[in-house]
Structure 1
Amino acid sequence: MRSSTVFWKIPALVALFIVAGYVQAEPYFAVREGLKCSSCHFNAAGGGMRNAFGNGWAQGALPARRIEGTGTDAWTGTVSRFFALGGNLRANATHTDVPDNDARSEFDIEEARAYLAITPVPDRLAVYIDQRIAPGGSTNLEAFARYTTQDQRWQVQAGQFYLPYGLRLEDDGAFVRQVTGINFATPDRGVQMGYESGSLSAQLAVTNGTASGPEEDEGKQVSLRAEHVQSVWRVGAGFNLNHTDAGDRQMQGVFAGLRTGPIAWLAEADYLTDETLGPVERKQWVGLVEANWLISQGQNLKLTAEVFEPDTDVDEDEQNRYSLVYELFPFQFVQLRVGARIYDGIPQNDLQNRRIYFAQLHGFF
């Protein structure tokens, strides 16, 4: 990782990183830099608020250039020893072309989110809130209390949180996130235990299984994610079982990452057995392969191929999606993205053969 660049520009973050011990990053960032998912974010399973190291890396190593303000201090997210703040804003312009339908273009706010972490006992006891502010009304996504052991290896948290399973991709529309139903729109309520040590990261959660909705039966959902991380490769596995009166849904999957020169590769495959979709058990599988080419500092080209088999007992019902996305980080805390997504499904379904072109402004801190 280009940690020397970060520390040279923001030397105060060295001490903060040593004290913090763990944080998290987007999957391809983590693969590219040889970091665990717990290397840039507050949440041990990834996503949400960035910690001091994540903010420092976003300022010194991620952008093409750094703009200087009138002050000399760098943003770390830390307001005081006991409080930290963060946020995300994504604004989109999209053009959607569906066969035999009128094309549609629109501007929209995908999300505006605010993060707050309160640590009455630094490094040991924390309360965390992830609040979606827009679009629409304010909605809570994560709200939990977390206890960490003194050696920083074990964590236990209770409340509402994102479930640990698979790659925590930013794109909730990816088949592996949409089909499994585990994404940034479906947190759940329960308890979670996590373990972080050396090259191993693991989380086990027991939740209601209602995507933060009201509990309607005695069934519970169990989610497990474990990952072994090395400097240029990683491999992990996930398991999820949601037991309900309507039937059980079981998922198991594997995921991996590999760095080959300037390209960071991601892959995930999941197999689902679902008894909730009808009288007959349905078996599905979904997969993703993604390549991220570091063109130069601050520029990334993403190519993704996805496949979804909605019923293994039905022939020729597969769906595919291909994406090409250019990402530019012109300066700290700003990302610009332009891209195209092409869907390839059964010919009779126009929506499964749509094309989407988009541009996005992403501000984060």
Structure 2
Amino acid sequence: MFLALPDAVWAIPRLAVQNGVSCVSCHVNPTGSGLRNEYGSSIVSLDELSWKPLSKQPKFTGALADHLRIGTDLRMQTYIHSEDEDQWERVSFPMQLELYGHWQITRSFQAYAAVDALRSNTEGWISMEFSRFNGFLRAGRMTPHFGLALDDHTTFVRGGNIKMKNGLNAEGMIFSPMRSSVATLEVGMNAGDFFLTASVSDGYVAGEAGSKTFTGRVEYSGMFLENSVLAGGSAMQEDDLFLVGIFGGAARGPFTWMGEVDLAGNWVGDGTSLASFSELSYSLVQGVTLTARYDFFDEDIGYLGNALSRTAAGIEFFPLPYVEFRSLVRVTKVASENERQNPELFFQLHLWY
């Protein structure tokens, strides 16, 4: 049942949109996500996220030495749902236990490892930076870099509904949290406000015995008309499967919007699938954010009645550094049904460093 719930091994793209920067600003991973760097751990987590910052710097923020760092993400979640209004079911469980390690071997070389203790999935790579071209070359086991890489895998542009489905053949795109990382060679380059990556992987969709997966992504992050903006596009191909998408976001004052639209060919049969995501958030005060979201998925745009839409509203509360409480209520509508389903409720505790 836990497969239906929000996950967050990824970064939080909204923070990048708000500041007009790339996710790598806070993470050791050159494409974002996972272990935070010193800035993400000591500055953002301590002073910029939490409602009540600490009065003094903690003695330990993950750095074991100048070139060694460890970290973790731990999430506990409660899920409440009902197929019958008279009977509600509540389930609580550990959702994520991710352990990270990073070694800055030299100024140009770094090594990284991440272990998912709950799903027995590992990620590990070495990276070499090229200061002359402001780029990098990375090799190891990882997930191809595509789209916003949202921190909720149940959004339809990620994995969508995996176990608790509504009768469709697929109810989301290919980025399921149950899909393992694969051997990948990736290159990336920063060109001013643009960030470009390209990679080749061992069959991310079909498995390592399948054909190669080719992925490309371009992103712009910066300022436009006094607004922080993010815009970009991604493409992926593996055998007959192709996936293309655009994404973006903008922030002004306390408001932040971000969205993504993806098309996949030959994902469900030989048809074309469509997924979209849109979220508007409002920063009430530091540490408290209100969110409203709309998701849509059509497993084959050539037919009627095989689509899902979902609306959601929630609140994210960071009471202290390295602590987050998240609650969300969402309602799903199946195109072939006349009435909306009963609401689903989520409550999540997130601890990290």
Q: TM-score range by the shorter chain?
A: 0.7 to 0.9
The yes-or-no answer on 1:84 pairing with 2:69 is yes
**Secondary structure of the residue that 1:120 maps to in structure 2?**
coil
The structure showing larger relative contact order (alpha-carbon pairs under 8 Å, at least 6 residues apart) is 2
Q: Match for 1:364: what amino acid?
A: W
Q: Which residue of 2 aligns with 1:62?
A: 49
**Alpha-carbon distance, 1:318 to partner:** 1.7
Percent identical across equivalent pairs?
22
Q: Match for 1:334: what amino acid?
A: V
Q: Which residue of 2 aligns with 1:36?
A: 22
**Secondary structure of the residue that 1:57 maps to in structure 2?**
helix
Partners of 2:104 and 2:121 in 1: CA distance: 19
Q: Match for 1:26: what amino acid?
A: I
Contact 2:68 2:104 in 1 (8 A): yes
**Secondary structure of the residue that 2:320 maps to in structure 1?**
coil
The yes-or-no answer on 1:49 pairing with 2:30 is no
Q: Which residue of 2 aligns with 1:160?
A: 141
Partners of 1:147 and 1:265 in 2: CA distance: 34
Partners of 1:312 and 1:52 in 2: CA distance: 45
Question: Map of 1:200-239 to 2, 5 A cutoff?
Answer: 200-210=194-204, 215-217=208-210, 219-231=211-223, 232-239=228-235
Partners of 2:327 and 2:133 in 1: CA distance: 40
The yes-or-no answer on 1:109 pairing with 2:87 is no
Q: Which residue of 1 aligns with 2:238?
A: 242
**Alpha-carbon distance, 1:103 to partner:** 3.2
**Alpha-carbon distance, 1:106 to partner:** 0.8
Q: Which residue of 1 aligns with 2:127?
A: 146
Contact 2:268 2:300 in 1 (8 A): no
**Secondary structure of the residue that 1:308 maps to in structure 2?**
strand
**Alpha-carbon distance, 1:124 to partner:** 1.1
Contact 1:347 1:353 in 2 (8 A): no
Q: Match for 2:349: what amino acid?
A: L
**Secondary structure of the residue that 1:240 maps to in structure 2?**
strand
Partners of 2:220 and 2:132 in 1: CA distance: 20
Instruction: Please report the TM-score for the alignment, with normalisation by the length of structure 2.
Output: 0.86
The yes-or-no answer on 1:360 pairing with 2:348 is yes
**Which one of the candidate residues 272, 290, 303 is aligned to 2:264?**
272
Partners of 2:130 and 2:316 in 1: CA distance: 38
**Alpha-carbon distance, 1:73 to partner:** 4.8
Instruction: Give a deviation string over 1:196-253, Cα, whole Å, max 9, x none.
Output: 2320111111001235x85224x2101111101113112100001011xxxx110100
Q: Which residue of 1 aligns with 2:189?
A: 195
Cα 1:294/1:74, change in 2 over 3 Å: farther
Partners of 2:44 and 2:133 in 1: CA distance: 22
Question: Map of 1:108-147 to 2, 5 A cutoff?
Answer: 108-121=93-106, 123-134=107-118, 139-147=120-128
Instruction: Please report the TM-score for the alignment, with normalisation by the length of structure 1.
Output: 0.83
**Secondary structure of the residue that 2:154 maps to in structure 1?**
coil
What's the RMSD between the two structures over aligned residues? Answer: 2.3
Contact 1:128 1:143 in 2 (8 A): yes
Structure 2 unaligned regions, length at least 5? 1-9, 160-171
Q: Which residue of 2 aligns with 1:7?
A: none
Cα 1:81/1:47, change in 2 over 3 Å: same
**Which one of the candidate residues 170, 173, 180 is aligned to 1:180?**
173
**Secondary structure of the residue that 1:332 maps to in structure 2?**
coil
The yes-or-no answer on 1:282 pairing with 2:278 is no
Contact 1:180 1:251 in 2 (8 A): no
**Alpha-carbon distance, 1:188 to partner:** 2.2
**Secondary structure of the residue that 1:49 maps to in structure 2?**
coil
**Secondary structure of the residue that 1:65 maps to in structure 2?**
coil
Q: Match for 2:113: what amino acid?
A: I
Instruction: Give a deviation string over 1:77-99, Cα, whole Å, max 9, x none.
Output: 32112211111011001101225
**Secondary structure of the residue that 2:208 maps to in structure 1?**
coil
Contact 1:98 1:355 in 2 (8 A): no
Q: Would you identify which runs of 4 or more consecutive aligned residues in structure 1 move more than 6 Å?
A: none
Cα 1:73/1:340, change in 2 over 3 Å: closer
Structure 1 unaligned regions, length at least 5? 1-23
**Alpha-carbon distance, 1:334 to partner:** 0.3
Cα 1:285/1:347, change in 2 over 3 Å: closer
